[in-house]
Structure 1
Amino acid sequence: MYTFNELPEAVTAIANKLDVIERLLKLKNSKETEDFISNRLLTLDQACSLLKLQKSTLYSKVSRGEIPGVYKQAGRLYFKKEELLKWLEAGEKKTTTKILEEADQHLAGLKKGGVN
């Protein structure tokens, strides 16, 4: 037990220990976050390796909306690993862009007032 005169030292000791605990928690959380991101998001080079594509081919497919799970941040492309793996497993599954293009082409071919 502390006396009244020892309280300032005790509070300082507790504050120092709390600082150490906070730093350890931040370090642990940042490591877990890095692990989580590295297991979930791929860089352009990692995505090229996974998909076995050249960078230029991957860029083209991204610009045409053929690749799912693409994120742009600070001028860089990141790819959601899980979505790329599903896309690979399913073959070249149609993306939203492709489906919309096909729908537009179909609608353009319809006659006014009815169906062909």
Structure 2
Amino acid sequence: MKPFTFDQIPVMMNKIHDKLEYLEKLILRISNVEENKEELLNIQEASKLLNLSVSTVYSKVCKREIPVNKQGKRIYFYRHELMKWIKSGRVKTYFEIQNDIEKRSKI
């Protein structure tokens, strides 16, 4: 880093201020993601998130197809577990399958 002159101090302070604001926004975004990880949903909220009817969600719970937490007669879902469950059903593209095959054949 080069030394700067007295006349450059306002410009440098402005840059520092902008960078601090950017870092502040990043930290807030990360903390919001962490809070959402532990967000607990009831059956109606889970149904809305998954875009499934409440009865379909109950059916999946009974068949143990979906991650659920039960406390007494009530069932709860963690948002991050539901998102992980949705992502686990992702179908690979032809290109991804081809890359996997090539990687395995190199081993």
TM-score range, shorter chain: 0.3 to 0.5
> Which structure is higher in RCO with an 8 Å CA cutoff and minimum separation 6?
2
Report the TM-score when normalising by structure 2: 0.47
Q: Which has the larger radius of gyration?
A: 1
Report the TM-score when normalising by structure 1: 0.43
